[in-house]
Amino acid sequence: MVSHPVPARLAAVLLTVALFGVPLAGSARAEAGRWVVESGKSRVGFDAFHSLGNFSGASETPSGEVEMDVEDLKKPIKGSLTAPVASLRTGKAGRDKDLRRALDGERHPEIRFRIDKVESSFQSLTENTDVLLTLHGVLTMRGTDRPASFMGRVRLRQGTLWVRGENRLRPGDYGIPLLRSWLVSMEEYVLATFDLALNKAQ
């Protein structure tokens, strides 16, 4: 059997890989992928303010996904988040019914947020470290689309992305009438929030 000498340059590259774990071109670990919202561990909601008592509402069954590279958050990030109107609960059955009516849930059964752009405080995401985010996109409620931005943060923990965010919204901008209690309307702004767990799609 005839042995062929390994060229000196190739030998040096192979030695570097063996000693330092430097990946060869084309074999770099790719973290870009699709991350899917885990419905049972996620929440989308709002805090409403009323002179006779504040209240909150939430959906525990949101769905959605995000396309991102955790090692380079400066790359384009796209995604979507959806909450069924029928899943919103405020703690009072009568108020839940009023809320579904205000959102016109029969004709517009979903609240949707399309993520078009994300700004981050750091370029990459590491284990158990918070990164501040500003998520820009389009929010759709009651059949009305409007630009919206949410301030938030993301953390990678044991392979799961935890994303939280919030923003003050004016329901009237979406044609949503304000809920009333004892003939008194709630304040015109609500605090919209989300607390999401996302796992990488297989």
Residue 74 falls inside a structural domain: yes
Which pTM value belongs to this model? 0.81
Task: Encode pLDDT of 124-146 as tens digits.
Answer: 988 889 999 999 999 999 999 99
Task: Encode pLDDT of 79-105 as tens digits.
Answer: 999 999 999 999 999 999 999 999 999
pLDDT at 31: 53
Task: Encode pLDDT of 32-83 as tens digits.
Answer: 699 999 998 999 999 999 888 899 999 999 999 999 999 999 999 999 999 9
Residue 22 falls inside a structural domain: no
Distance between CA atoms of residues 170 and 46, nearest Å: 11
Residue 5 falls inside a structural domain: no
pLDDT at 128: 86
Q: How many domains does the chain have?
A: 1
- Residue 182: pLDDT above 80? no
Residue 95 falls inside a structural domain: yes
- Residue 27: pLDDT above 70? no
Residue 145 falls inside a structural domain: yes
Residue 185 or residue 3, greater confidence: 185
Residue 191 falls inside a structural domain: yes
Range of the structural domain that residue 138 is part of: 29-200
pLDDT at 53: 82
Residue 99 falls inside a structural domain: yes
pLDDT band per the 50, 70, 90 thresholds, residue 5? low
150: CATH:
2.40.128.110
- Residue 148: pLDDT above 60? yes
pLDDT band per the 50, 70, 90 thresholds, residue 19? very low
pLDDT at 179: 85
- Residue 24: pLDDT above 60? no
pLDDT band per the 50, 70, 90 thresholds, residue 15? very low
Residue 24 falls inside a structural domain: no
Average pLDDT over residues 117-122: 95
